[in-house]
Amino acid sequence: MIARVEFLRSLGAATTIATGGFDVWDPLTPQIRVLVAADTGGAMPQVAPDATFAFGGKRWRGAPSTIGMPGGRLALVTTIDVDEYLLGVVPLEAPPSWPAAALQAQAIVARTYALGRRSLSRPYDVRADDADQHWGGVEAEVPAATAAVQATRGRTLTYGGSAASVYYSSCCGGRTADVTAVWGGTPQVYLRGVDDPHCVAAPDYRWTRDVALDRVLAAFGPRTGGTLASAALGDADAQGRARAVVLSGTVQTSIPVAEFRRALGYEVVRSSWLRGIRVESTQAAPRLVIEGSGRGHGVGLCQWGSRFYASSGASAAEILAFYFPGTSVSGG
């Protein structure tokens, strides 16, 4: 049992700390619990008169509380209306200069994602970092994103009358990925791959990166006999995407693409859609050259595609219907 130590606001005003049970929440602006820090290091949130609080050099919204975690650590969680949280999420996920419809689509997807993460078995629902959605707090808020959150108040993505499971990433590379190809599990009709003509002008639509062979060997050398002579893509899935990278030294090994990305870093291996891989040993320092399409996992909403589709006149509902076929926008 996790002990909760709550710091009530010093204002004497009604607090918004939810003590359990979703039924107390306003259905249009349900509350969520956001993990601001997994370990406070002994620091305390400083609650301000304007219903914000300072912690870790930033200002945040909601009602902060600390939670005792295993090992004696204290975590900081804030309980907050989901739309207040979205004010500091949407501007970090979609540049405020993007068309309003793209910002609104992002707001609906981010709201659906956050509400879908509500859990009675965890002491928080979402993390404030990239493990869920990056929340930048009050300083991240900008008027264009705030307008998108307000314009979509209460709206979420549904499928067959139930909340949809939503994902998004920066650029799909021309076709979104099937959810099962990336994470396995059960196929979902609205998370199948769709051809995307909208993101062709995105910065990472096609990319090439190279990595020093030393770095590759540091990660995979023990599995290739300590050398690397050649590299190739492994068998393709039903959508034609390689499932693995085959590295050949004195020993040949097959590395699943997800593991390959994790080991070499997401800045280098920018997506799960690899188009080519080779060893270039003609240079003084041999390198592994990797080519691919898109940025991120590619499942669900393509953010760059959404931006260009919105520029051509699509509404948020049309954007979402394109990337999540068969879903609809409910509420609000």
Residues that bind Zn ion (CB under 5 A): 172, 196, 199, 302, 305
Min dist. Cβ of residue 308 to Zn ion (A): 9
Residue among 137 and 173 whose Cβ is closer to Zn ion: 173
Residue among 84 and 196 whose Cβ is closer to Zn ion: 196
Min dist. Cβ of residue 219 to Zn ion (A): 29
Could you give the 3-state DSSP secondary structure of residue 181?
helix
Residue among 86 and 172 whose Cβ is closer to Zn ion: 172
Tell me how many degrees the CA angle 293-129-319 measures, rounded to the nearest 5.
Answer: 50
Residue among 264 and 302 whose Cβ is closer to Zn ion: 302
**Distance between CA atoms of 92 and 86, rounded to whole angstroms?**
10
Min dist. Cβ of residue 199 to Zn ion (A): 3
Checking DSSP bridges between strand 74-81 and strand 58-61, what pairing results, if any? unpaired
- How are the residues of the chain apportioned to helix, strand and coil, as percentages rounded to the nearest 5? 25, 30, 45
Min dist. Cβ of residue 223 to Zn ion (A): 33
H-helix segments, the chain? 82-86, 90-93, 100-116, 143-151, 179-183, 213-224, 257-264, 303-311, 316-323
Min dist. Cβ of residue 205 to Zn ion (A): 8
Cβ–Cβ < 8 Å for 144, 100: yes
Residue among 210 and 291 whose Cβ is closer to Zn ion: 291
